Amino acid sequence: MYISPRAKIYTKYISPTAIVLGESTVGENTIVDNNVVIGYPTRRSLRSLITSNFEEGYYELLDKASSGSKIGKNVHLRPGTVVYGRVVMGDEIETGHNVLVREDTVVGNNVVIGTLTVIEGHVKIGNNVRIESGVFIPINTVIGDNVFLGPYVIITNDKYPLSRRLQGAVIEDGALIGANSVLIAGVRIGRKAVIAAGSVVTKDVPSETVVAGVPAKPISTGEKYKKKRKLWEEGRI
Amino acid sequence: MYISPRAKIYTKYISPTAIVLGESTVGENTIVDNNVVIGYPTRRSLRSLITSNFEEGYYELLDKASSGSKIGKNVHLRPGTVVYGRVVMGDEIETGHNVLVREDTVVGNNVVIGTLTVIEGHVKIGNNVRIESGVFIPINTVIGDNVFLGPYVIITNDKYPLSRRLQGAVIEDGALIGANSVLIAGVRIGRKAVIAAGSVVTKDVPSETVVAGVPAKPISTGEKYKKKRKLWEEGRI
Amino acid sequence: MYISPRAKIYTKYISPTAIVLGESTVGENTIVDNNVVIGYPTRRSLRSLITSNFEEGYYELLDKASSGSKIGKNVHLRPGTVVYGRVVMGDEIETGHNVLVREDTVVGNNVVIGTLTVIEGHVKIGNNVRIESGVFIPINTVIGDNVFLGPYVIITNDKYPLSRRLQGAVIEDGALIGANSVLIAGVRIGRKAVIAAGSVVTKDVPSETVVAGVPAKPISTGEKYKKKRKLWEEGRI
């Protein structure tokens, strides 16, 4: 365990193998599991210390380079979760195992971030969001409230790699993105739109619209989707 | 290292950073690697202890909340593998790195579970199964004997998220699922069926049938597949 | 921390939880982060020691079984990265979190290997290569210089699983592979070819050609791609 002298810890449920760096704060009744790191520094700040021939050890290097992060209360950071610096996470958040949340990311309240999900930094996530396992969310992505991202949804931010422009996708409130779908850089997914599993979304999707395929095309409406979901729940389809 | 006073360990190859919780048992000549956790508790049991203001430390919290799991002999749990409680794993099993196996899962003998694979709990896996890296297996999935799941096969269990019905896929004996395929909730993959890489399977697949595409459609038979495989092995295609 | 008596460490930035095995060498100013393992042994060498009833502890077992690896200078191995034995990594390499690099792999200089990427062993990677998160690179893959692999690119090496022939893909210099694409065993991706995101590549792709779809077909040329990228960078598309 390494807890920065600058950090403020308000929970007693913290693993002996956890690392809390910089001016981080951890809220009440939050569980900080095995090998969790809070406030991990960016490459730039690490390298600038090393270039100036930093003389102390590993933990001191990380701590000095860290900007710290803010973790709310009743959060559960499962084993191996790493949160970089300048991250603000709300209350009642649950991460799976080995989740990565990079710098300058803001996460609302009551959010689930599934095992192995990678959030690349400079991302905004609303309230009541459910992100399944293995989701990839790159820089500049914006996710509204009540959004669902199925397992292994892959979001991109560079339409013509390797370009110098990174444009994030925007996912509006209540949108549902099916498993293993790919969102191409800069697409806007409208309110309560539905993306079928395995789609590749190359264009904006209007609100309350269901799309599917490679590339994704409209196949149904939000209204019909809700009816089908009801039949599914009743075991009739 | 934390070994529960309730656990029974029959191997000497256990890392000083491993954690074994609850009434777990670990069989002979099993390797328990760096940062492996056996018997990790469910959210529900952790939260109920915290709500009742549990006063001891982190390991005691995990241990008290744990139901324990049973790991057979000649198993190799590679670094970072986490096994939840009420899991039964047979003999001669090998996990890759950072594998997750959640609660109430049963795994047969002679099974390989690749690096980063996530098994979400309440899953049944037969004997002689080979699961490659990054596979996602959600709640209620049933996998027979001699099945092959290629890398990043994504299985789902909710056809119309976010519904209240989770129906697992059923993969019968000898089926081969190609890389990065998606199985939609509730599909049944017949005996020795073959799913080509990159398919999205929306309907049941009959036994000995080869399907491909988005959505997947029949393109060949098991008989022809075996002939092609022979030609491939001989370097003739 | 466990450092083999046979290892040579030329950096002072090494975590107290790192493990360096066998005759490994680690270059100047390299950062070896939390829970990194260098020189992890193969299954075969571990099992042969156990079968001969090896009597010492866990670290001694790993160390004796390890062949060691060579890590260059100014490398950053982020938390959880595991490098097997007989790996040669050049200088100025950066790995993400929980990266896996298996045995007999050679990596050039100035390479980024993204978080959760799995390199299965017997792989050759050139210089100035950028590999995003979650990429899967199986045995016998060959990757040239200046290649870009987007997030969750899945490469395969067995066209008809479970065959006895593993043929790697070849990705020539300057090729760009879009997110979540699948490369079927043995395909050759020509110089500066571009694979659109979400493609399934079943055949060789000529140099300077853009392909897309399931299965992937030519849709444009390298020349046109560069023009579009310029328009994208200028915010005109």
Q: Which residues of A touch B164 (CB under 8 A)?
A: 233
pLDDT tens, position by position, B106-138: 999 999 999 999 999 999 999 999 999 999 999
User: Quick check: C15 and A58 CB within 8 A?
Assistant: yes
Hey, what are C17's tokens?
A: 């939880």
Whether the per-residue pLDDT at C57 is higher than 90: the answer is: no
Q: How confident is the model at residue C56 (pLDDT cuts 50, 70, 90)?
A: confident
Q: Which of C133, C152, C232 sits opposite A159 (nearest CB)?
A: C232
Cis peptide before A183 (omega within 30 of 0): no
The mean predicted confidence, pLDDT, of chain B is 97
Chain A CA closest to residue B79: A80
Q: Which of A43, A46, A163 sits opposite C232 (nearest CB)?
A: A163
Q: Which residue has the tokens 């790993």?
A: C62
**C47 φ/ψ angles, rounded to the nearest 5 degrees:** -65, -35
Q: Is the dihedral of CA C53, C59, C64, C66 positive or negative?
A: positive
Q: Which residues of A touch C34 (CB under 8 A)?
A: 19, 35, 37
> What Å distances lie between residue A214 and A153, B200, C204, CA to CA?
14, 11, 21
* Confidence at residue C53, expressed as pLDDT on a 0 to 100 scale: 85
Helix (H) or strand (E) holding A130: strand A130-131
Hey, what are A4's tokens?
A: 């920065």
Q: Does any CB of chain C come closer than 8 Å to the CB of residue B211?
A: no
What is the average pLDDT across C111-126?
98
* Confidence at residue B53, expressed as pLDDT on a 0 to 100 scale: 85
Cβ-Cβ contacts under 8 Å between A and B: the total is 93
Mutant choice from B133, B176, B214, B236 vs C, greatest count of C C-beta within 10 A: B133
Q: What is the rounded distance in angstroms from the CA atom of residue A173 to the CA atom of residue A152?
A: 20
* Confidence at residue A56, expressed as pLDDT on a 0 to 100 scale: 87
The mean predicted confidence, pLDDT, of chain C is 97
Tell me which long-range contacts B23-27 makes (C-beta under 8 A, separation of at least 24). Answer: B23/B67, B23/B68, B24/B66, B24/B68, B24/B69, B24/B70, B24/B71, B25/B68, B25/B70, B25/B71, B26/B71, B26/B75, B27/B71, B27/B72, B27/B73, B27/B74, B27/B75, B27/B91
Q: Helix, strand or coil for residue B62?
A: helix
Separation in Å, CA of C165 to nearest CA in chain B: 5
Separation in Å, CA of A85 to nearest CA in chain C: 15
What is the average pLDDT across B54-79?
95
User: Quick check: C197 and A214 CB within 8 A?
Assistant: no
Q: What is the rounded distance in angstroms from the CA atom of residue A142 to the CA atom of residue A170?
A: 5
| Helices and strands in chain A: count of H runs, count of E runs | 3, 30
**Could you tell me the pTM of the whole model?**
0.98
DSSP state of B33: -
* Confidence at residue A69, expressed as pLDDT on a 0 to 100 scale: 98
Q: Which residues of B touch A213 (CB under 8 A)?
A: 214
- Among candidates A120, A109, A105, A119, which has minimal Cα distance to A149? A119
Chain A CA closest to residue C228: A160
Q: What subunits touch chain C, counting only 3 or more CB pairs under 8 A?
A: A, B
Whether the per-residue pLDDT at C59 is higher than 90: the answer is: yes
Q: Which of C17, C79, C151 sits opposite A136 (nearest CB)?
A: C151
The residues near B171 (Cβ < 8 Å, ≥ 6 apart) are: B141, B142, B143, B144, B147, B149, B177, B183, B189
Helix (H) or strand (E) holding B233: helix B222-233
* Confidence at residue A53, expressed as pLDDT on a 0 to 100 scale: 85
Cβ-Cβ contacts under 8 Å between B and C: the total is 92
Chain C CA closest to residue B96: C100
Q: What subunits touch chain B, counting only 3 or more CB pairs under 8 A?
A: A, C
Mutant choice from B152, B154, B228 vs C, greatest count of C C-beta within 10 A: B152
Q: Does any CB of chain B come closer than 8 Å to the CB of residue A10?
A: no
Whether the per-residue pLDDT at B36 is higher than 90: the answer is: yes
Per-residue pLDDT of chain A (237 residues; tens, 9 = 90+): 899 999 999 999 999 999 999 999 999 999 999 999 999 999 999 999 998 888 888 999 999 999 999 999 999 999 999 999 999 999 999 999 999 999 999 999 999 999 999 999 999 999 999 999 999 999 999 999 999 999 999 999 999 999 999 999 999 999 999 999 999 999 999 999 999 999 999 999 999 999 999 999 999 999 999 999 999 999 999
Question: CB of A210 within 8 A of CB of A196?
Answer: yes
* Confidence at residue C235, expressed as pLDDT on a 0 to 100 scale: 94
Cis peptide before B215 (omega within 30 of 0): yes
Q: Does any CB of chain C come closer than 8 Å to the CB of residue B131?
A: no
What is the average pLDDT across B78-88?
98
Whether the per-residue pLDDT at C1 is higher than 90: the answer is: no
